[in-house]
């Protein structure tokens, strides 16, 4: 999914019929400043022809901050959209928490302003508590909020792309795992909205 906000362009991943996960910094004005507002977002994808989704609600994990490492795990948001999106991906919570060796993974997302086929960058990631780190996956601008998919055994959605290394060979936070205490409340709120009255 391509997500356009007044201040940023990013990516997202369909995780339910009406749910898209992305990075909080794509849809937020900044730490502690709230979200950009549902009407300010443009979410679209390609299903043969462009499909535009109307954003009904934005749920951002709180608090999140770029300058506080402990709060970076909260750089995650869930959008409630209409119409229903096809082909949601199932996600794995807390993947890699016990991994000792680096894991093979691929980061997916849209690059630049054009809605073209999503790009991907493959390499290895290591899990250090609250984040996936990588020195060989260089996620391009616009990939923030995209999918991190493990290539171990069957492909699995395990995280949300957050940033890229500042320079080649430098390990940096590349993605955030779906940590239950951060992620579950965002999905639970959306699930309540979808339940019949």
Q: H/E element holding 2? A: strand 2-4
Q: What is the DSSP string of 18-77?
A: TEEEE-HHHHBSSTTS-B--GGG-EEEEEESEEEEEEEEEEEE-SS--SS-GGGGGG--E
170 and 185 in a single domain? The answer is: no
Inside any domain, residue 94: no
pTM to 2 decimals? 0.85
User: Domain total for the chain?
Assistant: 2
82 and 116 in a single domain? The answer is: no
Could you list the residue range(s) of the whole structural domain that residue 118 is in?
103-177
Name the nearest CA neighbour of 59 among 88, 17, 21, 91: 21
Name the nearest CA neighbour of 23 among 96, 73, 81: 73
Residue at token pair 């940033």: 163
81 and 9 in a single domain? The answer is: yes
190 and 158 in a single domain? The answer is: no
What pLDDT tens digit does each residue of the chain (197 aa) get?
A: 888 888 888 899 999 889 999 998 888 876 566 677 788 888 877 666 678 888 998 888 877 666 666 666 688 999 999 888 777 888 999 888 887 788 899 998 887 666 666 788 899 998 887 788 888 887 777 888 999 998 777 778 999 998 755 555 556 778 889 988 888 888 886 555 555 44
Cβ atoms < 10 Å from Cβ of 157: 21
């Amino acid at each position: 999914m391509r997500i356009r906000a007044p201040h940023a362009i990013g990516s997202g991943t369909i995780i339910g019929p009406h749910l898209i996960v992305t990075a909080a910094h794509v849809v937020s004005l900044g730490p502690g400043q709230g979200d950009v507002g549902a009407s300010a977002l443009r979410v679209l994808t390609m299903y043969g022809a462009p499909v535009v989704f109307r954003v009904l609600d934005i749920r951002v994990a709180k608090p999140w901050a770029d300058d506080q490492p402990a709060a970076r795990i909260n750089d995650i948001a869930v959008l409630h959209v209409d119409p229903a999106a096809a082909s949601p991906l199932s996600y794995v919570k807390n993947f890699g928490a016990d991994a000792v060796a680096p894991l093979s993974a691929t980061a997916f997302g849209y690059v630049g302003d054009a809605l073209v086929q999503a790009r991907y960058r493959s390499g290895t990631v290591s899990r250090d508590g609250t984040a996936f780190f990588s020195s060989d996956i260089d996620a391009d601008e616009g990939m923030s909020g995209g999918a991190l998919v493990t290539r171990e055994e069957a492909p699995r959605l395990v995280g949300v792309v957050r940033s890229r290394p500042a320079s080649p060979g430098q390990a940096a936070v590349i993605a955030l795992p779906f940590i239950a205490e951060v992620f579950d409340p965002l999905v639970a709120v959306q699930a309540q909205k979808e339940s019949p009255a």
